Amino acid sequence: MVRALRLIQNQPVLTDGHPDPVRQPGHALVRPLFVMITPADLGVARNPETQGVMGHQFVGIVEDSDTKSLIGQRVVADVNITDPASTFAQRGLGHHDPERKILGLRGFDGCLCDRFVIPDRNLMIVPDEIESERAVFAAQLAAAIHVSRVQRVEGKTFVTVLGGDLMALLCAQIMGTLNTSVRMITGRSDRLELCAKWGVKHRNLGEVGRRADQDIVINTMSEPDSIATSLRMVRPRGALILQSHPTIGIEEQHIAHDDLSLIIERELRLYGSRCGQISDGIAALQSGRVDLSGLVTKRVRFDEVMSGMRASMEPEHIGVLIQMD
């Protein structure tokens, strides 16, 4: 038996009586070192159909695999588990396969467990020079990089990142490395201090007008009215990119008819963005172009994972890291 954080009747419960995971051919047995709690982990508990072991963003060590070169290696993973022979995968759209499973989020036990299994093909080896506490950011960085590629950046593009969570902070840094004028808009003063340290322009949400002068607005927020706020910031024929996890409050968004009409009137482009390529996250970590200092605001051991889950719901925390051993 192993310890695992399971969803039982939509409540996370830490148990030490979870069955040992059984490795199937083509899968690896992984011992996680660190797991990052993200909004998706919190949102999955709201789905009454969700069950099983939680957790999906990790760095760990492969203990057993049919691929012998993986054994003993530190790894991170693409959490989308898709049949490589599926029509979507063959078209390069495996992340959008409606039949896919997602580690810890949909139909596949996650990594908040002493040991877990995942297909070999989903794993990527972490280079020796990247510390484990940095490697756990690989998936989040990959998603932020994917946001930067959704809309082509041309010339001196004006970009607003709306939000104050980990994804917003990473997007602001990534967009800042491109030929863009980036500002981050948030209601949290502590996030503004981080932006000042990075040299990213920043304003308090309550002090910003809606003058329709931004080429790209990236909205990572799930609060009511945030989409309406974003729409009023985008210039005619500009782009709005939505990155917030769909199970966190998106159904509570208040969008008036006048706000929706702006999409037609101003000929706006509306995009969604979710996962990126895990290799891009590793490359960003190797490059050193992203400053992760100050982004982990709480660390707890696995035995205290429930306090970590509670902390991740509190707005003052950015990244909550679970140390598994």
User: Where does the chain have alpha helices with state H?
Assistant: 39-44, 87-90, 132-135, 138-150, 166-176, 189-198, 226-231, 257-265, 278-287, 305-312
Q: Rounded to an integer, what distance in angstroms lies between the CA atom of residue 264 and that of residue 237?
A: 10
User: Running DSSP on this structure, what letter comes out for residue 5?
Assistant: E
Does residue 124 contact residue 282 with C-beta atoms inside 8 Å? yes
What is the number of other CB atoms lying within 10 angstroms of the CB of residue 140? 22
Task: Output b/e per residue, 215-233; b: 16+ Cβ within 10 A.
Answer: bbbbbbbbbeebbbbbbbb
Helix (H, G, I), strand (E, B) or coil at 180: strand
Q: Rounded to an integer, what distance in angstroms lies between the CA atom of residue 159 and that of residue 184?
A: 8
DSSP readout, 13-44? EEEEEEPPP-PPTTEEEEEEEEEEE-HHHHHH
Q: Residue 201 forms beta bridges with which residues? A: 183
Nearest to 255 by CA among 231, 221, 220: 231
Does residue 2 contact residue 30 with C-beta atoms inside 8 Å? no
46: alpha, beta or left, given left = phi > 0 and alpha = psi -120 to 50? Answer: alpha
**Residue entry with tokens 């990089």:** 145
**Crossing angle, helix 138-150 and helix 166-176, to 10 degrees?**
60
What is the number of other CB atoms lying within 10 angstroms of the CB of residue 72? 10
Over the chain (325 residues), the average pLDDT of each successive run of 10 is 90 92 96 95 76 95 97 97 94 94 94 98 98 97 95 85 93 87 87 87 80 92 83 94 64 61 92 94 94 94 95 92 95
Please provide the distance, in angstroms rounded to a whole number, between the alpha carbons at the two ends of the chain.
16
113 φ, ψ to 5°?
A: -155, 150
User: Where does 114-188 have alpha helices with state H?
Assistant: 132-135, 138-150, 166-176
Q: Residue 232 forms beta bridges with which residues? A: none
- For residue 258, the model assigns a pLDDT of 64
Q: Rounded to an integer, what distance in angstroms lies between the CA atom of residue 250 and that of residue 227?
A: 9
Q: Rounded to an integer, what distance in angstroms lies between the CA atom of residue 308 and that of residue 85?
A: 38
Nearest to 238 by CA among 174, 160, 149, 145: 160
- For residue 48, the model assigns a pLDDT of 64
**Residue entry with tokens 């509670």:** 310
User: Running DSSP on this structure, what letter comes out for residue 163?
Assistant: -
Token code pair at residue 37:
């709690």
217 φ, ψ to 5°?
A: -120, 125
Does residue 119 contact residue 28 with C-beta atoms inside 8 Å? yes
